[in-house]
């Protein structure tokens, strides 16, 4: 089964308080998105599509520099998300790059630099055992504040993800949370992705809504729970960047 990857890298990252694209902020002197590419480099990925938006030329230049230094044959393409209306839209703009492709499409985040290649490989291995069932990657946190909670049915299939601001008191006690990483079967998933709507306060298309769409159609959606939360830490501010640097490198 072929392996494909989309990396979401379109955002500005307003909390970084910088005019630099979020994914180009550096951890120990290296751009965050380069860490993600390093983890993919030896996994036999058939194609990587990087979704760009804010200051796209800077991101393209940085990625192309990584490619020329690390692996000139690495199959990278760029998809533009001009309006940047959420993660669901970001994945949808990549559809033309996967016309007639069949396999597993991992959705990774350009601001989650600590994910290891072994972990990414494990997602693909799970997907291979059930190639038509989409996966959301979850983790358990002692303090899940701020994260979307994973809601499961009695058969352990995922029913939906509820964001903290929308969660009831009982739902807030759930410690299994969304990492933002998905593995989706293509081409089957595209028709479901196109059903995502932007009827929310932000007027954005959320990738997490795909889970509820599958549920309404009585189709299974699995969650794969991983053990090391540090790998899935998204960096949203300079303070977080410095904190991660201290934790990893001392």
Please confirm whether the linkage preceding 132 is cis (ω < 30° from 0).
no
pTM over 0.85: yes
* N-term to C-term CA, the chain: 40
User: Taking a C-beta distance cutoff of 8 angstroms, is the pair 225, 176 a contact?
Assistant: yes
Length of the chain measured in residues: 250
CA atoms within 13 A on the CB side of 245: 14
In angstroms, the CA 228 to CA 233 distance is 10
Question: What is the pLDDT at residue 9?
Answer: 98
Q: How would residue 13 be classed by pLDDT, with cut points 50, 70 and 90? A: confident
- Banded pLDDT at 250 (limits 50, 70, 90): low
CA–CA distance, 29 with 57 (Å, rounded to integer): 20
Report which DSSP code applies to 234. Answer: P
Angstrom distance (rounded) from CA 119 to CA 138: 12
Query: Which CATH number goes with the domain that contains 240?
Result: 3.90.550.10
> 184 phi and psi, to 5 degrees?
-120, 140
Is residue 6 within 8 Å of residue 49, measured between CB atoms?
A: yes
Determine the pLDDT at residue 113. Answer: 96
The residue range of the domain holding 41 is 2-249
Into how many domains does the chain fold?
1
232 Cβ contact partners less than 8 Å away, ≥ 6 residues apart: 112, 114, 115, 137, 139, 179, 180, 181, 226
Question: What is the per-residue pLDDT across 56-67, written as a single tens digit (0 to 9) for each?
Answer: 999 999 999 999
What is the distance between the alpha carbons of residues 106 and 48, in angstroms, rounded to a whole number? 9
CA atoms within 13 A on the CB side of 72: 1
Average pLDDT, the chain: 94
Local structure of residue 187 (DSSP, 8 states) = T
With a cut of 80, say whether residue 190 has pLDDT above it: yes
Per-residue pLDDT reduced to its tens digit, 32-55 = 999 999 999 999 999 999 999 999
Question: Does the annotation count 159 as an active-site position?
Answer: no
Q: For the segment 107-164, what is each residue's pLDDT rounded down to a tens digit?
A: 999 999 999 999 999 999 999 999 999 999 999 999 999 999 999 988 888 999 998 8
Collapsing DSSP states into helix, strand and coil, what is residue 217?
coil
- Residues 190, 88: contact at Cβ < 8 Å? no
Catalytic residue chosen out of the listed positions 15, 116, 132, 217: 15
- Give the residue from 134, 166, 135 showing the smallest Cα distance to 148: 166
Tokens (6 digits) for 140: 């358990």
Residues in a beta bridge with 150: 161
Contact 182, 148 (CB under 8 A): no
């Amino acid at each position: 089964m072929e392996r494909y990857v989309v990396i979401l890298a379109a955002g500005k990252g307003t909390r970084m308080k910088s005019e630099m694209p979020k994914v180009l902020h550096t951890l120990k002197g290296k751009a965050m998105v380069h860490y993600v590419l390093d983890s993919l480099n030896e996994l036999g990925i058939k194609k990587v599509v990087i979704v760009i938006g804010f200051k796209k030329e800077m991101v393209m230049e940085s990625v192309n520099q990584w490619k020329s230094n690390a692996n000139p044959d690495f199959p990278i393409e760029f998809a533009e998300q001009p309006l940047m209306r959420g993660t669901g839209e970001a994945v949808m703009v990549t559809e033309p790059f996967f016309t007639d492709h069949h396999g597993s499409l991992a959705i990774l985040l350009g601001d989650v630099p600590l994910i290891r290649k072994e972990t990414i490989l494990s997602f693909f291995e799970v997907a291979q055992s059930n190639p038509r069932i989409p996966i959301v990657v979850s983790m358990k946190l002692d303090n899940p504040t701020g994260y979307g909670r994973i809601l499961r049915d009695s058969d352990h299939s995922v029913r939906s993800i509820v964001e903290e601001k929308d969660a009831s008191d009982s739902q807030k006690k759930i410690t299994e949370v969304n990492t933002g990483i998905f593995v989706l079967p293509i081409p089957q998933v595209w028709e479901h992705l196109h059903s995502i709507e932007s009827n929310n306060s932000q007027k954005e298309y959320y990738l997490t809504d795909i889970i509820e769409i599958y549920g309404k159609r009585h189709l299974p959606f699995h969650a794969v729970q991983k053990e090391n939360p540090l790998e899935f830490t998204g960096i949203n501010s300079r303070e977080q960047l410095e904190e991660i640097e201290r934790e990893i490198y001392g």
